[in-house]
Structure 1
Amino acid sequence: MTPKKEDYLKIIFELGGTKEKVSNKRIAISLDIAPGSVTEMVNKLLDEGLVEHEPYSGVSLTDDGIKLAEVLVRKHRIWESFLVNELGYPLPDVDKEAEVLEHSTSGRLLEAMYKKLGNPSHCPHGGVIPNMSGHYKEDSHRLLNDADDGETVVVDRFIDNHDLLTYLGDIQLDIGDKLKVIKHSPFEGPVTVQNLTDNQESDISYKASHYVFIRNAD
């Protein structure tokens, strides 16, 4: 299994590919690559029985793909948590470091870090971490862009992308923030929200609004 194939499995998992179809376009944007490259890699994963493909709908993980993705995500997110919580790394910078470290991490070291961190259920950008038995609560896959005008929601997690996390840090959007959606601007304009946690209004770009996941406010 090459690192590139692993990256695809992880991003399909993160985008909800255990339960629903994920479009090639969303994969391409998340990995910052050309759509043609996605098509080529998806075909390879299809040949290996790790994904299922439905024309015009996208791809989802097979049972084998899910099992492998869960292992990969667990390693990656434990490293991210360790880098942020124990070493003080800025959140936007941890993905590349974790990408390198996860490939040379033994099971023994991984479990030692997991216990040191207090057996976390989620990584710093809100993504789920399967426990030692592989169990986890399914992430929310509802996007900020899908929220209705006037609706109040809570920020649940972010896609693991350096530029996105840097942007969200600049506009001071954090996991757990309660937002009231004011309006969706037309022609792929920003989503305007009132951050009820910080008491400030923000315009969140159209692209970013597709990589901020939300849950219903209590």
Structure 2
Amino acid sequence: MTPKKEDYLKIIFELGGTKKKVSNKQIAMSLNVAAGSVTEMVNKLVKEGLAAHTPYAGISLTDEGIEVAEKLVRRHRLWETFLVEKLDYQLSEVHDEAEVLEHVASDKLMKKLDQFLNSPRECPHGGVIPTEAGEYEEESHEYLAEIKVGETVEVDRFIDNHELLTYLDDLELKLGDKIEVLEHLPFEGPIKVKRLADGAELSIGYKAAHYIFVK
């Protein structure tokens, strides 16, 4: 399986494709690729029995696709955890390094790494880490862009995207922050929120708000 195909399986998993349909637009935005590239790869995944596609509804992973994605996500997120916790990497720096490491590590090394890290259940950006047996708690799939004005939520996880994580680092928005939605500006404008801990008001881009998951 090519690294590009693995990236698609991982992002569909992250966007909730184990339980619901994910749109081609969401995938394209998350991976920073053209819509045509998504259509081409989705067709390949469907042909290989890794995904199911419903016209005008979206794509979800099959049982086989979920099993493959869980293993890929486990490897990737264990390496991210190691890099942040043990080597003091910034969260925005770890994705590309983890991409390399996940493809060269043996199953034995991954098992040792999991034990060394005391079997973490979440990675640094809040994503679940499946156990070796494929067990994990379901992630939140409600994103900030869906939250109505006046509602208060807690930041639960971020999509594993370098550009997004760098942007959020600049905003100083962190996991666990409780925020109140103040305003949705029209025409795909930013979403204004207030961080309850210090009263700071933040303006979060429309695209970014679709990849900040809350609870």
TM-score using structure 1 length: 0.97
Shift of 1:197: 2.3
Aligned counterparts, 1:43-192, within 5 A:
43-192=43-192
Partner letter of residue 148 of structure 1?
K
Q: Residue 37 of structure 1 corresponds to which residue in structure 2?
A: 37
Partner letter of residue 42 of structure 2?
V
Looking at structure 2, the residues matched to 68 and 39 of structure 1 have their Cα atoms a distance apart, in angstroms, of 20
User: Following superposition, which runs of at least 4 residues in structure 1 exceed 4 angstroms of deviation?
Assistant: none
Partner letter of residue 7 of structure 1?
D
Q: Residue 19 of structure 1 corresponds to which residue in structure 2?
A: 19
Q: Residue 4 of structure 1 corresponds to which residue in structure 2?
A: 4
Shift of 1:72: 0.3
Shift of 1:136: 0.2
DSSP-derived class of the 2:126 partner: coil
Looking at structure 1, the residues matched to 198 and 189 of structure 2 have their Cα atoms a distance apart, in angstroms, of 23
DSSP-derived class of the 1:86 partner: helix
Partner letter of residue 188 of structure 1?
E
Structure 2: which 5+ residue stretches go unaligned?
none
Looking at structure 1, the residues matched to 92 and 57 of structure 2 have their Cα atoms a distance apart, in angstroms, of 31
Looking at structure 2, the residues matched to 192 and 38 of structure 1 have their Cα atoms a distance apart, in angstroms, of 31
Structure 1: which 5+ residue stretches go unaligned?
none
Looking at structure 1, the residues matched to 114 and 176 of structure 2 have their Cα atoms a distance apart, in angstroms, of 23
RMSD of the TM alignment (CA)?
A: 0.7
Looking at structure 1, the residues matched to 15 and 72 of structure 2 have their Cα atoms a distance apart, in angstroms, of 15
Which string of whole-angstrom CA distances, capped at 9 and with x for unpartnered residues, describes residues 187-208 of structure 1?
Answer: 1111111101233110111111
Looking at structure 2, the residues matched to 199 and 121 of structure 1 have their Cα atoms a distance apart, in angstroms, of 31
DSSP-derived class of the 1:22 partner: coil
DSSP-derived class of the 2:123 partner: coil
Looking at structure 2, the residues matched to 35 and 170 of structure 1 have their Cα atoms a distance apart, in angstroms, of 28
Partner letter of residue 176 of structure 1?
G
Q: Residue 206 of structure 1 corresponds to which residue in structure 2?
A: 206
Partner letter of residue 114 of structure 2?
Y
DSSP-derived class of the 2:87 partner: coil
Which string of whole-angstrom CA distances, capped at 9 and with x for unpartnered residues, describes residues 124-155 of structure 1?
Answer: 00010001221000100001010111001000
Percent of residue pairs identical: 62
Partner letter of residue 133 of structure 1?
A
